[in-house]
Amino acid sequence: MQPGYVKRDLGYIDEYLGKGYVLQPKEQKRLETIRKVCKQQKEMFDNHSHKVADRIVSLSQPYIRPIVRGKAKSPVEFGVKFDLSVDEQHLDGSRRSPLMPITSSQPCRVP
């Protein structure tokens, strides 16, 4: 990421917003994500670090987080954690991510 160019472009966007341009809800959410990524990048640069809390790795899916697995082939994966429980009569799954609430599906009957 080129912070100088992004900062410049955010300035252009702020000018448009100051003149009365209104963003659609999806655009507003994306802009907030971009601003947060810029803040995270500046924090890492200022602290000479490669780590930051709740690091955003995807603009389109800002809730996705790096998952450290320690595997030789790919020590870090990106995605949403998914839990699956199986017993003799049911399957129960839930998607978990730090910024997303736990959402459980209805249990499925196993024939």
pLDDT band at 13 (very low <50, low <70, confident <90, very high): very high
Q: Are residues 52 and 84 in the same domain?
A: no
pLDDT in tens, 19-53: 999 999 999 999 999 999 999 999 999 999 988 88
Distance between CA 38 and CA 49 in Å, rounded? 15
Distance between CA 34 and CA 7 in Å, rounded? 10
Task: Note down the domain range covering 23.
Answer: 3-60
In a domain, 74, yes or no: no
pLDDT in tens, 51-69: 888 888 888 888 887 777 7
Do residues 94 and 108 touch, judged by C-beta distance below 8 A? Answer: no
Q: How many domains does the chain have?
A: 2
Helix (H) or strand (E) holding 104, with range, is strand 100-104
Place of tokens 């809730």: 63
Whole-model pTM: value is 0.63
In a domain, 31, yes or no: yes
In a domain, 65, yes or no: no
Three-class SS state of 97? strand
Q: Are residues 9 and 54 in the same domain?
A: yes
Q: Flag whether pLDDT at 101 surpasses 50.
A: no
In a domain, 70, yes or no: no
Which amino acid is located at 110 in the chain? V
